[in-house]
Amino acid sequence: MSLKTTLLALAVFGSVLCTNAADFARWSAFESVDAFVGAAKAFQPAKSKSDLSALFTARDRGQTEDFAPIAANSIQASVALWSNRSRALVFATAAPATEAAPSSIGVLFLLARANDRWHIADYRQFSASGKEASVSAELTAGTRTGYHLGSEGMMPVVTVKECHGGRGYAYQLSGSYSFQGAKLNALELE
């Protein structure tokens, strides 16, 4: 086998590994944002030994004080909220099977492109618990005439909403996030 054939085989093998849900880890590389979204959808945190499994884990506040961690069996949804040629924002949700009260977890991923591969640059985890537990995210920055989202001065803004509680005591929390370089930042009211 020639060196060129060996290198080509390794490239194809590496490409398959990088888009496989079993290799959905913090340092994995993906061919595209869609490949990341697909790998996230196929990810099974409870069965995986990936470092990202902990992001989709909730503490079960049952009758005892042990607060056992419960990983989600699967990812409910994974959606690319925004992307350009070098950055992307993806939101994934899961519902760990906690016994004391329903739980919902969402993770906002900032992806960065380097060397024609997409990598996780940063992430933020959000969680909610209670009968009405849910976590959602939406792109809330709009484009204006003459401006393009992602250009200097017009960064994407994602608003994440956590719905907690129920049975007479429900409440919502929300926050908006953008990024600078390779870091997600919470936006503060001024």
The answer to whether the beta carbons of residues 93 and 55 sit under 8 Å apart is no
Number of domains in the chain: 1
Query: Between 130 and 122, whose confidence is greater?
Result: 122
pTM over 0.75: yes
Give the pair of three-digit tokens for residue 167.
Answer: 């049975």
For residue 85, pLDDT over 60 is answered with: yes
Q: Provide mean pLDDT across the span 65-73.
A: 80
Q: By residue range, what is the domain housing residue 159?
A: 3-186
For residue 121, pLDDT over 60 is answered with: yes
For residue 6, pLDDT over 60 is answered with: no
Q: Provide mean pLDDT across the span 50-56.
A: 93
Quickly state the pLDDT bin for 119 (edges 50, 70, 90).
very high
Length of the chain: 190
